[in-house]
Structure 1
Amino acid sequence: MNLEIDFMDETNKVSEMEINQLSKLLQFAASQQKLEGEIELSVTFVDNNRIQEINKEYREKDQPTDVISFAMEELGEGEIPLMNSTLPRMLGDIIISVDRAKEQAEDYGHSYSRELGFLTVHGFLHLLGYDHMTKEDEEMMFSLQREILDEFGLQR
């Protein structure tokens, strides 16, 4: 498996060390999920104002949130899948508010690094089709997140 990650920091607040750690975490999570082949995704760091704009535009919620994922493999009504084995598998985009990550790290009493990791894995699992709309789905997704973070070494 080859996972290509495009990191963009619109805030200039995420250090190179933090980005390297998140890259390793995503590689670890992808191997835990047994992904194969050429895979691409992007992670963008924004502030509360920008994520609120995105949340309002795409989810009709006029408030900041911590993470939003746009899965490329989810098909909308009337869309057909692109089938070409020579193209890398494009999972989609993860957008993280660094402001919310800092706020939540304080609220939950753990490190900013752990919260960034949590939000990254949460967004990544959404790209893979996991969700938390029902109690059962939430239990499965959150236990998987905890397992990945714990095994990687980002415990609470």
Structure 2
Amino acid sequence: MAKRHYIPVTADVPGISEDRRAFIRKVIRTALSAEGVDFPCEVDVLITDDENIHQVNLDMRDVDRATDVLSFPEFDLTPGQLPKAEDADPGTGLVPLGDMVISWEHVTAQAKEYGHSNRRELAYLVVHSVLHLLGYDHLDEGPQKRQMRTREEAILAELGITREGD
């Protein structure tokens, strides 16, 4: 992708190396490109633990439990709809797509539960969150969920991350 995105990845848990942060950025850039985001944008990422994501979930969504990933989109989009250039922050020139919060404890537990690597689980959660930032949802068990799952698998395949390969 020719244009640069600003993707700060912060962590308040140990074990999130610069290589892991670079991997998260790569996954985000790949997902954005796959969804046609060809304008400079910003996605903020926090890697935390179950206790902190539980608190964020409670504070922001009034849900009293930990979870694997939370997405806070800046815009109310539908799949395939993208923000406009005029949505860019005048100070940075970047379109702020939103924030994602990922529980590293959930990454490692779910990777073990599903029998694949932490890398694959992390990539899945990052792609999942990017799609939420771009208007995808899965609250129903019907077409929306199937559409989101299809996009997730396509983007992971583009990254060379498949269920069979992990």
TM-score w.r.t. the length of structure 2 is 0.85
Task: State the match for 1:30 in structure 2.
Answer: 32
Partner of 2:104: 98
Q: Closer, same or farther in 2 for the Cα pair 1:149/1:128, shift >3 Å?
A: same
> In 2, are the aligned partners of 1:2 and 1:36 still within 8 Å (CA)?
no
Asked if the contact 1:118/1:149 (under 8 Å) is kept, the reply is: yes
In angstroms, what is the RMSD of aligned CA positions? 1.9
Which aligned segments of 4 or more residues in structure 1 are displaced greater than 2 angstroms? 83-87
Match of 1:111 in 2: 117
Q: 1:137: which partner in 2? A: 144
Q: How far apart, CA to CA, are the structure 1 residues paired with 2:16 and 2:162?
A: 20
Alignment partner, residue 16 of structure 2: 14
Looking at structure 2, the residues matched to 15 and 136 of structure 1 have their Cα atoms a distance apart, in angstroms, of 37
The alignment covers a number of residue pairs equal to 151
Aligned amino acid, residue 52 of structure 1: H
Structure 1 segment 140-151 matched on structure 2, within 5 A:
140-151=147-158
Q: Match of 2:7, SS? A: strand
- Segments of 5+ residues of structure 2 without an aligned counterpart are 78-83
Check whether the contact 2:139–2:145 (CA below 8 A) recurs between aligned residues.
Answer: yes
Please say if residues 11 and 45 of structure 1, whose CA atoms lie closer than 8 Å, have aligned partners that are also in contact: yes
In the alignment, which residue of structure 2 is the partner of 1:78? none
| Aligned CA distance change for structure 1 residues 89 and 154 (closer, same or farther; 3 Å) | same
Unmatched runs of 5 consecutive residues or more in structure 1? 76-80
| Superposition map of 1:57-76 within 5 A | 57-74=59-76
